[in-house]
Amino acid sequence: MTKIFITGTDTDIGKTLVATILLYKAQSQGLSCFGLKPIAAGCHWSTEQKPAGEWHNDDALLLQAASTCKQAYAIHNPIAFPQAIAPHIAAEINQTHLSLANLMGACKTGLEQKVDVHLIEGAGGWLVPLNDQSTLADFAQQLSHNVVLVVGMKLGCINHALLTQQLILNSGLKFSGWVANHVDTDMNEQEANFRYLEQHIQAPCLGRIPFSPKANPQDLIEYIQLPV
């Protein structure tokens, strides 16, 4: 089983896009796959789950749709908050205690899915807090998944990428690759920035995603490869 933990240099830099492309890439190679988003903040109320309804997140729905092993929504996204804010603040507002133990417990069924490619998408960046003591990086260290870093190609991305890389390397987890996602068409010297990252990130570049705000992820699988 290939196990992937997706993190990013920031929020809104395309983690979900890259995650869904990787899931569809796995499908194209005849591999079974499952996408898990442990925590989602910024959800809408859905009445599809009868009789009570539940909070749904658009990113998590994309992971569910891209999975060959589709489960009930809450298996793909066990913790969902309506507010589009940092998860630990959303948890406080909703009077929910986030801890490593209850996050692992909430994800138990999702983590047990037997597939060829098991993918987890984090929230925000590497050090997003769960509470006053723990971060999503601590959660990642509880798992055996290899880390893939999504770099949003925009001004400041070199600093963000190298800082995040250092923390990943310090964690002891396998850093199996990074993806350049072009999110800013006005960024100057994109090629020079990419070349610098390629030379200084200590993991293979798995792909470059062109600026494609409305593209179907299935149409972008040629731009990426699965980590080894």
CA atoms of 225 and 22, how far apart (whole Å): 7
Which residues are paired to 205 by β-bridges? 178
Q: Please report how the helices 15-28 and 58-66 are oriented relative to each other, as an axis angle in degrees rounded to 10.
A: 10
Contact yes or no for 72/110 (Cβ under 8 A): no
Q: Which of 15, 37, 154, 174 does the annotation list as catalytic?
A: 37
CA atoms of 130 and 140, how far apart (whole Å): 12
Positive or negative: CA dihedral 210, 215, 221, 226:
positive
**Burial of residue 6 (number of CB atoms within 10 Å: 0-12, 13-18, 19+):** buried
* 3-state SS, residue 90: helix
CA atoms of 96 and 134, how far apart (whole Å): 15
Please give the backbone phi and psi of residue 218, each rounded to the nearest 5 degrees, phi first. Answer: -65, -25
Q: Is 15 in the active site?
A: no
Contact yes or no for 161/197 (Cβ under 8 A): yes
Q: Which residues are catalytic?
A: 37
